[in-house]
Amino acid sequence: MTYKAVFLDIDGTILRPDHTYSNKTKDAIIQLQEQDIEVFLATGRPIHEIKELAQELNIDSFIGYNGAHAIYNNETIVDEPMHKDHVNQFVNISMEQNHEIVMYTNRKNYFTNPDSPTSQHFKEAFQMNKNEKYTSEIANQILGMTVMTPDPTQNSLYQLDENIRLSQVNINGLKHAYDVIRNNVNKGEAIKKSLQRLNIPIEQAIAFGDGMNDKEMLQAVGEGFAMGNANPDLFQYAKHRTTTVSEDGIFYGLEKLGLLK
């Protein structure tokens, strides 16, 4: 099989728990690029917070905000902000329940309570630098959000309709953080649109992920790999299971497909 595109999640897939990546992971990406295989970073993170990593890995194509925004070589392929009314509802619920939310535009991260210990922990965990306090003036610019609740039984408050689901974010020291995912706007849908733009068949695409926000992504490609450290619920959606991020799971997965030396 000839492969033409690879989509890589970041946290828990490229990056190890200490925010570093291995030499083998970087070598795997270099070898893909030498074969003219398109490499995308596909993440729940905002794109403006991953530019340094992208530069280190020589990657300039992205799926960010869990699929709400996608860029191929500076060309915007997907741009799907959340509905303003939904954003306002989420914020109102969080204020009533004393919960916290971080929201993302294509420029900055907006916290409902930026100085709280929970928000500070979140910023440090994801190395977020472009942060401000949320104001309603930017409600129509929100591409994605993460809700932080003290009790997962309260998650149902945020499931405003059948198009919304909450996906747990893995953060050491913060148990109850959840990305808001739209069924029609997610990594998988963004991959489909990216492949269509590049005229690449699904069978010639590969993806690696570790979280439940990667579920649709692994189903949208011909060769979907769940990392060995993945959420156990993710394995059923992956065609393959590779080693953990600390054991160079991307390298060994691609080696299994015969793409690496």
Strands (E), the chain: 5-8, 38-42, 61-64, 69-72, 75-79, 100-104, 109-111, 131-133, 144-148, 164-168, 177-182, 205-209, 223-226, 240-241
pLDDT digits (tens, 9 = 90+) for 217-240: 999 999 999 999 999 999 999 999
Average pLDDT, the chain: 95
Q: What CATH number does the domain containing 190 carry?
A: 3.40.50.1000
pLDDT digits (tens, 9 = 90+) for 5-41: 999 999 999 999 999 999 999 999 999 999 999 999 9
Question: Would you say residue 150 has pLDDT above 80?
Answer: no
d(CA 229, CA 214): 13
Say yes or no: 148 and 98 in one domain.
yes
Domain boundary among 182, 207, 225: 182
pLDDT digits (tens, 9 = 90+) for 38-97: 999 999 999 999 999 999 999 999 999 999 999 999 999 999 999 999 999 999 999 999
d(CA 2, CA 21): 27
Domain boundary among 182, 203, 232: 182
d(CA 65, CA 163): 16
pLDDT digits (tens, 9 = 90+) for 89-137: 999 999 999 999 999 999 999 999 999 999 999 999 888 999 999 999 9
What is the band of 179 on the pLDDT scale with cuts at 50, 70, 90?
very high
DSSP 155-192: GGGG--STTEEEEE--BTTB--EEEEEETTBSHHHHHH
Domain boundary among 118, 150, 182: 182
Say yes or no: 28 and 63 in one domain.
yes
Q: And the tokens for 188? A: 């998988």
In-domain check, residue 261: no
- Domain of residue 153: give its range: 84-182
* b/e per residue 78-91 (b: at least 16 CB within 10 A): bebbbeeebbeebb
DSSP 194-227: HHHHHT--GGGEEEEE-SGGGHHHHHSSSEEEE-
d(CA 258, CA 261): 8
Q: What is the pLDDT of residue 153?
A: 86
pTM of the entire predicted model: 0.94
Say yes or no: 142 and 26 in one domain.
no
Question: Would you say residue 155 has pLDDT above 90?
Answer: no
Query: Under 8 Å CB-to-CB from 62, ≥6 apart: which residues?
Result: 40, 41, 42, 43, 47, 50, 54, 69, 70, 71
d(CA 126, CA 238): 25
